[in-house]
Amino acid sequence: MTIDDIKNKQLLLLDCISGSHAYGLNTPKSDTDMKGVFILPKHDFYGLQYTEQLNNETNDIVYYELKRFIDLLTVNNPNILELLNTPADCILYKHPIMDLVKPELFLSKLCNQTFAGYAQSQIKKAKGLNKKIVNPIDEERKTVLDFCYVIKGQGSVSLKSWLKNNNFRQEDCGLVNVPHMREAFSVFHNSQLTEGYLRGVSSGPDAHDVSLSSIPKGLEPLAIMSFNKDGYSKYCKDYKQYWDWVDKRNDARYENTIEHGKNYDAKNMMHTFRLLNMAEEIAKEGKINVRRNDREFLLNIRSGTFNYDDLVKLANEKVEKINELYEKSDLPESPDVNKANDLLVEMREKIYEIK
C-alpha cells in the first residue's frame, strides 16, 4: 500500500494542506505539508496486511488509516485534532462520511498535556539549542591528555605543558596507580629504565582512558598526575551530541537563528507559543482554532523580535495560567472511548457497504 494506491483506488476520506499554510503562518520559503485520512480496502482490513499510516521520505506528506486517526483523536494528539479542524480553504477533499467526526466528541482536559505539555518540552528543546549555539564545540576533538594535570607546588599544570617543559613525549612515559587515590597516577619516563619500555600515558587520540605500565620497584616518580575522567566522559558525550546536531540540523533554520542574533530556534519558539495559545483557547472556548488570529505575535517571535529569556519567562507564566483554566474547565477528563469506538464501527460499515 502506497500513497499513490490510496489516491488511485479512491480510498481517501480527507486530504488537506496542513502546517504553516493552515495556521496562516507561511512565508515564501515555507514548504507545503499534506495530511489526510484513508480507509483500507475491506479485503486488506479483514486480512493480515493492516496499514496504519503512510508517509513520504521527508514526512511532509502523511496519511492515517481511519482506525489510527480515531485512535489518535482519543488521546488528543495535537496534529490529529488540527487535521480534524483544518480551515475550509485548506481542505482539498472531504468524504461526506467525515462529517460524522465531531470535534466536540474528542476535546478533553487531556489537551492540557498534549498541547501545553508538548509546548513545555519544546521550551526545553529551545534551551538545549540555545546552549549549543552559545557554547559551540570545536570540531577538533580533545583527547585524554587534555584532561590530565600534574601537581606543581600548591597547584597544577596541564600534562601537555609539563611534557613540553621537560621535552618529553607522552608515548615515552608510563603511569602507575597511586594507592587509595582516585584517578591519581605516578608518572615515569623511559630514561629512568635500564631495560624495557613504558606504554605511554594514552594509547592514542581515540582512547577512553589512560594506559598503565609496569614499573620496577623502588623507582621514584617524576611527577604525580590526576586524570579528570568524569570531565572527559562528559566532554565526549557533549561532543557527540553537538556534532550529531550539526550534522542533522536544518541549515536554513539555523542560518535564520544566527541572522536574528537571539541564539534560539525562532521557528521552534513560534510553534511553542502557538501550542500554548491553542491550549488556552481549548480550555476557554472548547474548540480548536487552527488558523491563527495571533499571527502577528507569532511571526514576530519567528523574526527574532523577542529575547530568549523573556520568551521563556512568558511561556512559563502562560503554563501556570493554562493549568488554572483546565482545573476550572467543564471539559471531560478524557474522550469517551466507547463512543469513539461506536463511531469508528459505524463509519467503516457504511463505507464498506458502498465499496
Q: What CATH class has 1-106+335-355? A: alpha beta
Strands of the sheet containing 148-152, edge to edge, are 155-158, 148-152, 223-227, 184-189, 173-177
C-alpha cell at 332: 471531560
Q: Which pLDDT band, with edges at 50, 70 and 90, does 258 fall under?
A: very low
SS3 label, residue 131: helix
SS3 label, residue 69: helix
Dihedrals φ, ψ of 174, to 5°? -145, 155
Q: Is 193 exposed, middle or buried (0-12, 13-18, 19+ CB in 10 A)?
A: middle
DSSP letter string, 263-304 = SS-HHHHHHHHHHHHHHHHHHHHSS---S-TTHHHHHHHHTT
Going by C-alpha positions, the residue among 107, 20, 5 that lies closest to residue 63 is: 5
Q: Quick: pLDDT tens for 159-216.
A: 999 999 999 999 999 999 999 999 999 999 999 998 999 999 999 999 999 999 999 9
Q: Quick: pLDDT tens for 174-188.
A: 999 999 999 999 999
Q: Average pLDDT in the 250-278 region?
A: 71
pTM: 0.67
C-alpha cell at 291: 488558523
Q: Which pLDDT band, with edges at 50, 70 and 90, does 327 fall under?
A: very high
Going by C-alpha positions, the residue among 263, 208, 251, 240 that lies closest to residue 137 is: 240
Share above pLDDT 70 across residues of the chain, in percent, rounded to a whole number: 91
- Residue 259 host element (H or E): helix 251-260
Q: Average pLDDT in the 67-90 region?
A: 97
pLDDT surpassing 80 at residue 125: no
pLDDT surpassing 70 at residue 250: no
Enumerate the domain spans of the chain: 1-106+335-355, 149-235
Q: Which pLDDT band, with edges at 50, 70 and 90, does 255 fall under?
A: low
DSSP letter string, 99-117 = GG--GGGT--THHIIIIII
* CA gap 5, 350 in Å, rounded: 21
- Residue 176 host element (H or E): strand 173-177
* CA gap 211, 176 in Å, rounded: 9
Q: Which pLDDT band, with edges at 50, 70 and 90, does 43 fall under?
A: confident
